[in-house]
A and B are shown apart, each in its own frame.
Chain A
């Protein structure tokens, strides 16, 4: 039996690209003929790892197509042409409302993405959602097919690489480094991080806030954030890294005192798992899939008012016992995202799906 994965773009080093490649390996281990097809394939990926969608032919009714859904693309509306059994892996789409004030293009793209999710409602037989939040979203959209939760596969091996020396040196100076990793995007609510940091600076004047992530396509929002930090008089200590190399990201994690997330929309939030890996205590606002990913570890906030968040940060940074407790909990949670465990979950889900067809 052929099991084919299909997605618009197979990127190098991003969460969905890594997940797709890891799933392909897992399918091969299970004895299936596994292939990946994408419209755009990152040139940094090994040759032959995936083929262009034009070459996807000859699927039989017993074969399985796994479609990764995370954005607005025409590919979604072509899925019916593949006459085989279809599964969707739902990574979630950011609601367009977040983008509307800043980027018409991004708003249109995500709107199109949701139209695609609606279109797929009766085109797929089974869904694997990254989180319970994603599953509930599909149920609300009227999905009636079976939906199971399977966390995204993260290549933790990559995080063992040597971190960037210059960043390590610069940020290991004894100052408190508050970190958030993620694109500069309105759904991630970086302004709430700046607000909390403004209050925290009164408690810890030497602290820094590091916002690690690209702002490409979100320049209007980025400029607004920069102006806001400057007007509050904390512009020098709010660091926007922009798009950076992987070893630099590793260095920011290694020098972080706490990971703070105020995001209001996430389908999974891989950086939370990364912070767990680097033993960085997590403080996160309870929204969307955040509580699913934390699974009881870290500090989940029911209030994002800046005074409250800053007080929680202060306690987390300075209370050694609390830090130890948080890190212990995060290590336990991290075990749930191990390759073996997720592979095992996926294997059971795929076996159960293929057996149902017999």
Chain B
């Protein structure tokens, strides 16, 4: 694939050469080390349902009117007539929805499952930091050796 001096194969080969020369290894915590539940979760996607509630709890009293102009004008008149009843009811409902969503978020945030999950994540993060420390110590040792050689020269 070559066009306007761009050759993808060459670019890929250059990148691979550079990674080899610099000794970049991409050492990190393995995905296999991350624990997970092996049994199917009951109750479907609770988290996704909560996400949905968070973004949709505020209900709009009216939908956009489209289509036949005659029908639209008729609907507008009905809306005006019903406004005194619809709007306060929807506002009350939105206040209730908002409180429910706040409570549900609080419960989800403080659930025992979440606490266990947080502890597991911290353990994994510690593991990952140990990998990084080991890598840095190796680099440090190599740099010290190189510095020592220079001083001897």
The closest CB in chain B to the CB of A322 belongs to: B6
Inter-chain residue pair count (beta carbon < 8 A):
110
Segment at the A interface, from B17-25, B65-73, B88-96, B98-106: B17-25
- Near A by CB (< 8 A), chain B positions 27-71 give 28-29, 31, 34-38, 40-41, 44-45, 47-48, 51-52
A243 near B48 with CB under 8 A, answer yes
CB distance from B33 to the nearest CB of A (A): 8
State which of A217, A223, A233, A296 has its C-beta within 8 Å of the C-beta of B125: A233
A206 within 8 Å of B by Cβ? no
Using Cβ atoms and an 8 Å threshold, which residues of chain A touch B47?
A: 215, 219, 222, 242
Using Cβ atoms and an 8 Å threshold, which residues of chain B touch A215?
A: 45, 47-48
B148 within 8 Å of A by Cβ? no
B40 near A103 with CB under 8 A, answer yes
B128 within 8 Å of A by Cβ? yes
Segment at the B interface, from A24-32, A120-128, A263-271, A304-312: A304-312
A227 near B29 with CB under 8 A, answer no
A311 near B15 with CB under 8 A, answer yes
* A214-B48 contact in complex given A296-B1, A307-B26, A322-B6, C-beta closer than 8 Å: yes
Could you say which interface size class chain B belongs to? 35 or more
Q: Interface code B4-16, partner A: CB below 8 Å = 1, 0 otherwise?
A: 1110100110011
In whole angstroms, what is the CA distance A177 to B3 when docked?
27
B124 near A231 with CB under 8 A, answer yes
In whole angstroms, what is the CA distance A310 to B121 when docked?
24
Using Cβ atoms and an 8 Å threshold, which residues of chain A touch B45?
A: 215-217, 219
Segment at the B interface, from A33-41, A48-56, A191-199: A191-199
In whole angstroms, what is the CA distance A311 to B25 when docked?
12
CB distance from A164 to the nearest CB of B (A): 11
Using Cβ atoms and an 8 Å threshold, which residues of chain A touch B140?
A: none
Using Cβ atoms and an 8 Å threshold, which residues of chain B touch A228?
A: 29, 31, 34, 124
**24 pairs of residues in contact across A and B, judged by CB atoms under 8 Å:** A104-B40, A195-B28, A198-B28, A199-B24, A199-B28, A216-B48, A219-B45, A219-B47, A220-B36, A220-B40, A221-B36, A223-B37, A228-B29, A230-B124, A231-B29, A232-B29, A242-B47, A243-B51, A299-B8, A301-B12, A302-B12, A307-B19, A307-B24, A311-B18
Residues of A near any B CB (own CB < 8 A): 101-105, 191, 194-195, 198-199, 214-217, 219-224, 227-228, 230-233, 242-243, 296, 299, 301-303, 305-308, 310-312, 315, 321-322, 325, 329
Residues of B near any A CB (own CB < 8 A): 1, 3-6, 8, 11-12, 15-16, 18-19, 24-26, 28-29, 31, 34-38, 40-41, 44-45, 47-48, 51-52, 117, 120-121, 124-125, 127-128
